[in-house]
């Protein structure tokens, strides 16, 4: 939380302490993000995965 004119406020819809915690985890290498890779020849399959709406993390095409 930051304070402005005596009022605590949230930053970007999230709390500042939570943001600091995530940044700290990323800086120490303890934060990992799920990444699913597909060769370019499987771009259609990758697109279907994204369209399914059940993607956690990122989908990457390898060129």
The answer to pTM > 0.85 is no
For 5-23, what is the mean pLDDT?
70
pLDDT at 5: 54
Same domain, 50 and 26: no
DSSP code, position 24: H
Q: Tell me what pLDDT residue 1 has.
A: 45
* Strand intervals (E) in 11-53: 35-39
- 20 with 37, same domain: the answer is no
Domain total of the chain? 2
Considering the domain architecture, whether residues 40 and 22 belong to the same structural domain is answered as: no
CA separation for the pair 34, 30 (Å, rounded): 13
User: Domain range for residue 53?
Assistant: 33-63
What is the rounded distance in angstroms from the CA atom of residue 21 to the CA atom of residue 41? 39
User: Based on the domain organization, do 27 and 54 belong to the same domain?
Assistant: no
Summarize pLDDT for 23-35 with one digit per residue, the tens: 888 889 888 788 9
Q: Which residues pair with 36 in a beta bridge?
A: 59
């Amino acid at each position: 939380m930051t304070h402005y004119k005596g009022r605590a406020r949230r930053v970007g819809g999230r709390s500042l302490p939570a943001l600091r915690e995530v940044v700290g985890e990323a800086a120490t290498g303890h934060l990992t993000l799920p990444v699913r890779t597909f060769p370019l020849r499987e771009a259609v399959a990758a697109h279907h995965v994204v369209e399914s709406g059940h993607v956690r993390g990122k989908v990457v095409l390898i060129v």
